[in-house]
Structure 1
Amino acid sequence: MIKLLRKPQFLRFPPSSFWLMVLLSGCPLSHAIHAQNTTENTQTSNPTLRTILVTDDNDEVLANVSIKNVRTGMFATTSSNGIATIDAQLGDKIGIYCVGTFLKEISIKDISERVVLSSQNPAVARIKPIRGLFNQSLQTELTAGSSQAIYNKDLQKMPATSILNTLVGRLAGTSTFQFSGQPGSDAISFGLRGQGPLVIIDGIPRQLTIFDLEEIESITVHKDALSNAMLGVRGNGGALVINTRKGSASNAKMSFTAQTAIQQPLKFPKGLDAYNYAKLYNEARVNDGLTPVYTDAALQAYATNSDPYNYPNVNWRDATLEPSSRMDRYTFSATGGNNFSKYFISFDHINQTGLLKKNTTTPYNTNNNFKSYTIRSNVDLQLNSKLSGGIYLLGLIRNSNDAGIGTGNILNSILNTPNNAYPAYNPNGSYGGNQQFQNNILAQTIGSGYQQNFKRDMLADFYLKRTLDEIASGMWIKAVGSYYATLSENVVRNKTFAVFQRNVSATGQETYQQFGVNGDQSNYNYMDYQGRSDYLELSLGYDKNKGNHGVNAVLLANRQNSVSGSELPYTITGLAGRMGYNYKQKYILDLAFGLNGSNRYPTGGTTKYGFFPAVGLAWNISKEDFLQSQAWISYLKLYASYGKNGNDNPGYFSYIQRYFDNTGAVFGTGAGGNTGVTEEPLANPNITFEKSNKLNIGLTGGLFDNSLGFTVEYYNMQYYDLLIQRGRNSSILGNVYPTENIGKNQYTGIDLQLNWQKSTSIGDFYATANAGIQNSKVIYIDEVTQPYSWMYRTGERVGQLFGYISDGFYQTTAELQSRATTVGYQPQLGDLKYKDLNNDGVINQLDVAPIGPQSPYITFGSTLGYSRKGFDFSVLVQGVANRVILANANSMLAFQNGGFGQAFEQHLDRWTPTNPNASYPRVWLGTNTNNQLVSTFWARSGDYVRLKNIELGYTLPSKLCKNIKVQGIRVFANATNLVTFNADKYLDPEGFSSNYPIQRVFNFGVNLKL
């Protein structure tokens, strides 16, 4: 009989992991052994008592899941640790139910079983609590706020260094924009309903976004006034709440993941070869009234590459950049604990190489590499039956290396240097160059030395929490303290280099003219930035359900003090609170407020602190009797909120009039002379925080036995007291106007979210779709009276692009004589022509009008997934619509850099008399005051659809894993930025403004669970 008994698999301690758990948790050995033996004794006393552990596919335990023995009809419910016990015999069928919805059935094969539910199922999503601002746990059914979360499994599908990159296309109402793919600097800009949200990590506002992805449990966006009211003066932009993983009372579980990725540039401007460049350059000179400089013999030499030193044709991109780079990532984590202590630890290492080529003979690295090391330790302690505490530590090291002159300068040189400028090397092995081009790009890459950057971040959070049931059942008090320090140091070891122009005389004698010097290596370091922040919080809470009534409330006081560099401290202090009440879980009332301010406003004034209240109502319609007969409606909730949020944007003590020394003017003579003083912008003694009033109305539900979930939200946000300079600024004043709280903007929109999940005999399917549709409007900017309606910024979209309206090219001499022309410019055939909106015969500022889209801005994303017998597959598509980008970077213009720059493949389709329907105007050298005006010609569509991510994985059968003494093995491959569909084939719709292209990533990995 005894031999038939087995310890629960998810409670068994393998010898090595058991001792590791004891060591990390600080738990007395006798206590740990007692906890294990207690479980064994319970099982022995009742041999038919089975334990069921229910988790989702993020490995997070699920509470309030019902299990039913089909044979006996007995029910049980999982507790907060995801475990339920039920009387059952081997072979009994157990049904799994979530919020009344049947999800799956299992057969009892052992004393302990584990059930994994899909997090994509709407029923599962409903029982998962969402994370509030200050570490509150909120039930989605019992709040009127607008929030949405994604979890660990989805975050790890992308090989990214920043957590922001993992959010692309997954959350309704969010917008993302990636400017660069440079290692260590590839994070996206992240917007929430048109604003920049505050990042909150484990309940405390932070600036960090680089994390070990395995340490993240969930990321939640809070969108409306109610959800962000407790932030007070920091709630205007919404919040991005990051919750890190914590330990649980279970045996030690370890995970190791190894990944390696190949990175390739998505789009890089393709420069012309020397022959086409020279031909086009001659044409541009003729167009500008000059004579050609390249003879037919020179053109022939460029075409045949017969004399590569006198007539070079160097593809600088291929000469200095690798076609691909690499990223390796290794992550280890361990979690576990007992009734006394719980822990989660993780270690993450990233090694990412750049695209710069290296010289194998150089004794130091000149590539733009990035390395990071992240260590996380979260320990929670149950000190006694009433007192608990925790210590959360994070250490982050980020090291980067670069060529001495910098990757940005090298890439800029590639865009500004034609292929025929000079040879990379001369016949004698020296660097090629000349008086015009003294910056040999290859020398910049491998011969300019190197520079390094060292960033260090340290974070320590502490808390103590005590129940106050002796005062009132459900009451508690909590104290939180935190310290964060960061610094960035640069070490520069660069050097100068000489270039040589090869000259051959008529007799064949070879001489070299030197430009620049081969200088010694310089060695210096400096502090790029440093900062620190401390945070204190004291909160009092109450959470109680009694009969038909449920109340949860929290009141807290907090203070955050931050110092950046040599600046004076920036301190935000205040109070905040939230109270939720529900009756029969049908009718919900939410109240929240923030009362706070900062130290950078006038002391004693009325502008220093603000009160930001919000209210929300919700109705769980599906709990009403009149909907019980509608079986196809599984869940339905209507909710609304209205409130006030703030934004603290005071500047650096801008209410004080400041004066600075100006060495340009000296009064008096000799050593006793006095330096002149310059008055800075006028002070604003009435400056205060910006504000917003926000309305949010939503409907969420589950249909057809919770297989289909949906959320629809409408919002109307009125931003006012925005700090701007008056549009009526005048130079007559002799100084710059201050920023004043006078601006007003409005944002309205709709967020849509759909979730579908279906389990069938051929596998499990799921699909999600989200979209954000937003209109914005400038309400007030104190704009000057304009002579024409199209000139007004007021009433247009926020951030609307203004410029001239292009009307094609000048095609005939008659048009040159009859069309309105740009002031101070004599147009030629093939130049851009513009619409004369006021019909005065002149193109000037009176013809500037909106040139961006007038329709709503749309963001969208969709995920499809499938899994069966260990295989899993998912694909994410993401994009935007009704967006415009200004394509006037150097790579879009020919012969910039004073007329000596490169030209690109799109310029071959330029206007000529024989190519009147060209895509580019006639070519010119340098700057053209007519053709380069901001206009609809350069305002290109920024709409795109991108196959953002695709992943295929396989999890080995559990029986095979047990044979090799591991809990699980999963191998996977994923890819990011695979295909992009957009209107302009020469531009990446996101990275068009950066020299460093966005990367396409192919990633392969394996995960071992021990």
Structure 2
Amino acid sequence: MSIFTRFLWVLICCLCALSPAWANATKGVPVHGKQTAKDTLVTDTVKKVKQQIYFQTPSNLSTASTAAISGSDFVSTPVVSYPLALGGRLPGLTVTQTNGEPLSEGFSMLLRGQSPVILIDGIPRSVTEIGMNEIESVTVLKDAVSLAMLGIRGSSGAIAITTKKGSATKTQINFNLQTGIQEPLKNLIGSPLNAYNYATLYNEALTNDGLSVATNGFSQVALNAYQSGSDQYKYPDVNWRDQVMKNRAMTSRYDFNTSGGNNFVRYFVNLETYSQDGLLKTSDANKYNTTPNLKGYFIRSNVDVNLTDKLSAGIYIQGRILNSTAPGNDGTAAIFNSILATPANAYPIYNPDGSYAGNSQFTNNIVAQNVGSGYSLSNTRTVLSDFYLKRSLDDVTKGLWIKARASFFSNLNENIVRSKSFAVFEQTGASTYRQYGTTSAQSNSNGISFQNRSDFEELSMGYTHNFDANNGLDATLLANRDNLINGSNLPYTIQGISGHVAYNYKKKYLAEVSFAQSGANRYPDNGGFKYGFFPAMGLGWNINEERFMQPLTWLNHLKLYGSYGKLGHDNATYFLYQQVYNATPTAYFGSSAAAGTTVGESYLANPNITWEKSRNLNVGLEGAVLHNQLSFDVEYYNNLFSDLYIVRGTNTGMLGIDYPSENIGRQRYYGWEAQLNWAQKKKSFGYFFGVNASLQNSKLLYSGEPTLKYSWMYKTGHPVGQTYGYIADGLFRSQQEINGAPTIEGYTPQPGDIKYRDLNGDGVINQYDQTTIGSQKPTLFIGSRLGFNVFNFDFSTLLQGVVNQQVYLSGADYWEFQSSNGGQAYTTQLNRWTPATAATATYPRLTTSGGPRAGDVNNFVSSSFWLRNGDYLRVKTIELGYTLPGKTSRKVGVQSARIFVNALNMATLKSLTFNGADPENYSGMYPIERVFNLGVNIQL
């Protein structure tokens, strides 16, 4: 029997159970009953979100853990990807951004430490760029009751986007115009050294490595020339970042939307365009654009129709076009990597004859790479369409309904590359040059980089009723199927049955059950489908409804609630359960392969592969006092993740094949979340203040580690992702300090090297002295929003921060001379160890890439020396607005008009670690922007 056949049988049984006699017994009882002021803790926006997510239990009668914000709270944020506007606004949700390039922001969203599913109007989607004015509200779903109906993709949490809908009101027309200026934030902890300091430090590093300065370094003549700047062709001093980066660029958003309707049809239509100029310089010699620009076009039409008094329908259509450009074939990342690998004295930008300069070590001129290597175009086209039919079954029994919906999603990205190569020249005489590389004409190519489409079908049935003054019931049962085809991959299908039942007694005692029988087609059972059962239950107590609480007139709401359940996460790839063979000319056993082909296994199969699981516990207390002016919510969660995909132990070459992924990993994520809000409104003055905090911790319970010699070597029992390496005890200040000290096997340290702790006391530093390093305190994420309005002026700001965060500094953006050609060096290294600075140095002695690479086995291995405090507090947004008085607006023919100025990433208070650099992007890649924005909103 198929899962849909089973679902139809369930529906028939439900209809039989709901007899007309029952309906008559409850005739005249309102669906939800009359709600008091105590029931209005959350806004109508939040309730609408819940109605889009499978069940519609009012928040005050639910035990679920959710948090929501209105789209109007962040609609004016000058970003194209809405997740970038959510950071600091919702407890449990953390958003970080590591890149500022348009459409390649490198952001990540984590909900209680996991990557959440994105739902748009209740349907799983992968879209993170939609028109900001399309968004009615955003809700995060965090506990088992709110997530169980997602089945095998519920354990990571969910972010639910609800789009705007029309209402039975007169037509409203809105214009929104914004334009802003972007400025790059500093994205390196240490500034690149000028030519003189670079050459001086490089000579010092050669000496430290025992190499000849005369042969490999810079002469005194060169040092003098770098210092005086006397010959920029022979002894250049180039700030490559300044040569390719602009100081500012423009951004803009223009939006038009209209909404309204009547008792028959309701509509919302939105047209929006967004543009963001890139921060790389362009050349007037080109007739095309090489900077990473973005132009986005969005359209949405949401239409709801009452076909009869009992039958309604809806058609929701969204389309988007995203056009972006980039320099050359390799894009912007290659340019910034070149900057990290190229010192200021590597070569001049141009030769005296105007040709691009270079040499045998540096054959890729960065300016030419930016403006002389052609360009590429990226075009993304997306169409999303949702349809539904909903039938009221009040003629069967009051409060019963049935709904069918279907959705289609198509996404395509096409790249057009028009690239060309360039030659660089090294001046060898007054008018002679040596050429490296060739100059070629433009070559053209295009291709589809990704293409996917999905279809979604769902049949649901619900019942909401209050049987008498004491008993209320809300139930939903549904079956859905989500089918995704990504490029040439086989279809990926998730389907199942799920349900939700909420019961309340006198709106005082609450009980809630959610479940899913859900499966996917990546497993060995039933022709590829394998199903699991995911139940959850919640209990709640509206304490303020108790009779003994009635004298407390200042108390408007107080609810204790909790939930527990089992959730799933489908993380498998296709055919892990099948043994796969490949053809290879290598023999696994014996001296050599004979002529012909030897057949071998690619990897060991796992016939028992299944989905990952979690058991989620959530307990909370929420309340509101003083006429709902002050509200609070405190929650504790403890989520145990099991059956995680890992490869046990360490593969051995003797096996000749990789171990399979197995469902044996276990982790725990747990912590506290809290939010506090205060709002007060008087005649011509109002203000609000809100703060949320998330204290997040984790523990690795099992990862299949091999048996280790000492207990401190295990990662198990420590936070997930904890850094592993040596514990550093500062620097060796002198040779006397080195004598007799434990050192790394096979290495003879020098003064200025990092010294490490000998954990087992055997006098040698080796793998037995490695352990988890860094702080293991839980990380605290905080967000705060505050504002006020006086007469027609309004002001608001959003703060975002993190405490107990550590960052690991490494690589070519922080260490010196990290490429084979020398690489950059930074102001950070000016405080390196030397005999004169032995007592105060904070950086090890310098070393080059040309010597024995002492740092490879000592200074640059993973150790606590490179861990730093990563705390920061950021003014994420700040906004000041003025609304024209009503009389003035009407005189100019508009219903209302508001002008505002705002800023994104205005200022950041951060630890000294970052030395003025951005705390999220300090690796030298495309910088994050500070945006100053001017906007106008007009409503007709």
Match in the other structure for 1:824? 746
Contact persistence 1:157–1:951 (CA under 8 A): no
User: How big is the shift at 1:625?
Assistant: 1.0
1:471 matched to 2:396: yes
Match in the other structure for 1:957? 885
Match in the other structure for 2:387? 462
1:362 matched to 2:286: yes
Alignment of 1:568-647 (within 5 A): 568-604=490-526, 608-647=530-569
Q: Answer with 653-662 or 683-692: which moved more.
A: 653-662
What is the distance in 1 between the residues matched to 2:45 and 2:257? 28
Task: Tell me which amino acid in the other structure corresponds to 1:204.
Answer: I
1:970 matched to 2:891: no
Aligned-pair Cα RMSD in Å: 2.1
Contact persistence 1:570–1:599 (CA under 8 A): yes
Give the TM-score normalised by the residue count of structure 2.
0.92
Match in the other structure for 2:207? 286
Contact persistence 1:453–1:488 (CA under 8 A): yes
User: How big is the shift at 1:124?
Assistant: 4.9
What is the distance in 1 between the residues matched to 2:648 and 2:587? 30
**Counterpart secondary structure, 1:818:** coil
Seen in structure 2, the aligned counterparts of structure 1 residues 999 and 665 have a Cα distance that, compared at 3 Å, is farther
Give the TM-score normalised by the residue count of structure 1.
0.86
Match in the other structure for 1:567? 489
Seen in structure 2, the aligned counterparts of structure 1 residues 663 and 360 have a Cα distance that, compared at 3 Å, is farther
Match in the other structure for 1:273? 194
Bigger RCO of structures 1 and 2 (CA < 8 A, at least 6 apart):
2
Seen in structure 2, the aligned counterparts of structure 1 residues 476 and 100 have a Cα distance that, compared at 3 Å, is closer
What is the distance in 1 between the residues matched to 2:565 and 2:587? 53
Match in the other structure for 1:918? 841
Match in the other structure for 2:12? none
User: How big is the shift at 1:419?
Assistant: 0.9
1:932-958 Cα deviation digits (max 9, x unpaired): 111111122222111111111111111
Contact persistence 1:131–1:243 (CA under 8 A): no
Q: Answer with 252-261 or 431-440: which moved more.
A: 252-261
What is the distance in 2 between the residues matched to 1:403 and 1:164? 26
User: How big is the shift at 1:394?
Assistant: 0.8
Task: Tell me which amino acid in the other structure corresponds to 2:205.
Answer: A
What is the distance in 2 between the residues matched to 1:673 and 1:970? 80
What is the distance in 1 between the residues matched to 2:35 and 2:57? 18
1:352 matched to 2:299: no
Task: Tell me which amino acid in the other structure corresponds to 1:973.
Answer: V
What is the distance in 2 between the residues matched to 1:205 and 1:101? 33
Residue of 77, 85, 92 corresponding to 1:173: 92
Match in the other structure for 2:876? 948
Seen in structure 2, the aligned counterparts of structure 1 residues 844 and 863 have a Cα distance that, compared at 3 Å, is same
Match in the other structure for 1:303? 227
Contact persistence 1:805–1:849 (CA under 8 A): yes
Match in the other structure for 2:347? 422
Match in the other structure for 1:512? 433
Match in the other structure for 1:979? 907
Alignment of 1:535-554 (within 5 A): 535-548=456-469, 549-554=471-476
User: How big is the shift at 1:980?
Assistant: 1.8
1:481 matched to 2:481: no
Residue of 393, 409, 415 corresponding to 1:490: 415
Match in the other structure for 2:936? 1006
Contact persistence 2:45–2:70 (CA under 8 A): no
Seen in structure 2, the aligned counterparts of structure 1 residues 779 and 821 have a Cα distance that, compared at 3 Å, is same
What is the distance in 2 between the residues matched to 1:994 and 1:535? 42
User: How big is the shift at 1:370?
Assistant: 1.2
Structure 1 unaligned spans of 5+: 1-78, 81-96, 103-120
Task: Tell me which amino acid in the other structure corresponds to 1:176.
Answer: V
1:223 matched to 2:142: yes
Alignment of 1:46-57 (within 5 A): none
1:874-914 Cα deviation digits (max 9, x unpaired): 11111112222221131101111125111111111111111
Contact persistence 2:42–2:59 (CA under 8 A): no
1:260 matched to 2:179: yes
User: How big is the shift at 1:341?
Assistant: 0.7
Contact persistence 1:636–1:700 (CA under 8 A): yes
Match in the other structure for 2:447? 526
Seen in structure 2, the aligned counterparts of structure 1 residues 980 and 866 have a Cα distance that, compared at 3 Å, is same
**Counterpart secondary structure, 1:772:** strand
1:416-460 Cα deviation digits (max 9, x unpaired): 111111110111010000010010000001100011111111111
What is the distance in 2 between the residues matched to 1:607 and 1:982? 50
Task: Tell me which amino acid in the other structure corresponds to 1:221.
Answer: V
Seen in structure 2, the aligned counterparts of structure 1 residues 663 and 501 have a Cα distance that, compared at 3 Å, is farther
What is the distance in 2 between the residues matched to 1:872 and 1:368? 35
Task: Tell me which amino acid in the other structure corresponds to 1:242.
Answer: I
1:807 matched to 2:729: yes
1:695 matched to 2:617: yes
Percent identical among aligned pairs is 49
1:371-428 Cα deviation digits (max 9, x unpaired): 1111111111100111100110011111110110311111111111111111101110
1:503 matched to 2:428: yes
Q: Answer with 133-142 or 212-221: which moved more.
A: 133-142
Contact persistence 1:956–1:969 (CA under 8 A): yes
User: How big is the shift at 1:524?
Assistant: 0.8
1:381 matched to 2:310: no
Seen in structure 2, the aligned counterparts of structure 1 residues 370 and 123 have a Cα distance that, compared at 3 Å, is closer
What is the distance in 2 between the residues matched to 1:889 and 1:265? 22
Q: Answer with 802-811 or 773-782: which moved more.
A: 773-782
Contact persistence 1:142–1:588 (CA under 8 A): yes
1:861 matched to 2:771: no
Match in the other structure for 1:745? 667
Match in the other structure for 2:267? 343
1:961-1001 Cα deviation digits (max 9, x unpaired): 11111111111111111222222134532113461122111
1:92-118 Cα deviation digits (max 9, x unpaired): xxxxx994489xxxxxxxxxxxxxxxx
Q: Answer with 298-307 or 760-769: which moved more.
A: 760-769
Task: Tell me which amino acid in the other structure corresponds to 1:219.
Answer: V
Seen in structure 2, the aligned counterparts of structure 1 residues 663 and 454 have a Cα distance that, compared at 3 Å, is farther
User: How big is the shift at 1:685?
Assistant: 0.5
Task: Tell me which amino acid in the other structure corresponds to 1:526.
Answer: G
Q: Which 4+ runs in 1 deviate beyond 6 A?
A: 663-667
What is the distance in 1 between the residues matched to 2:596 and 2:297? 52
User: How big is the shift at 1:199?
Assistant: 0.5
Seen in structure 2, the aligned counterparts of structure 1 residues 853 and 587 have a Cα distance that, compared at 3 Å, is same
Match in the other structure for 1:154? 73
What is the distance in 1 between the residues matched to 2:759 and 2:587? 46
**Counterpart secondary structure, 1:890:** coil
**Counterpart secondary structure, 1:444:** helix
What is the distance in 2 between the residues matched to 1:449 and 1:635? 63
Contact persistence 2:47–2:56 (CA under 8 A): no
Task: Tell me which amino acid in the other structure corresponds to 1:154.
Answer: D
Residue of 844, 849, 862 corresponding to 1:934: 862
What is the distance in 2 between the residues matched to 1:787 and 1:891? 36
Seen in structure 2, the aligned counterparts of structure 1 residues 530 and 897 have a Cα distance that, compared at 3 Å, is same
What is the distance in 2 between the residues matched to 1:200 and 1:123? 21
1:707-760 Cα deviation digits (max 9, x unpaired): 110001111111111111112543332211111111111122111010101124
1:213 matched to 2:143: no
Alignment of 1:705-854 (within 5 A): 705-727=627-649, 729-760=651-682, 763-854=685-776
Contact persistence 2:691–2:785 (CA under 8 A): yes
What is the distance in 1 between the residues matched to 2:575 and 2:171? 52
Contact persistence 2:282–2:290 (CA under 8 A): yes
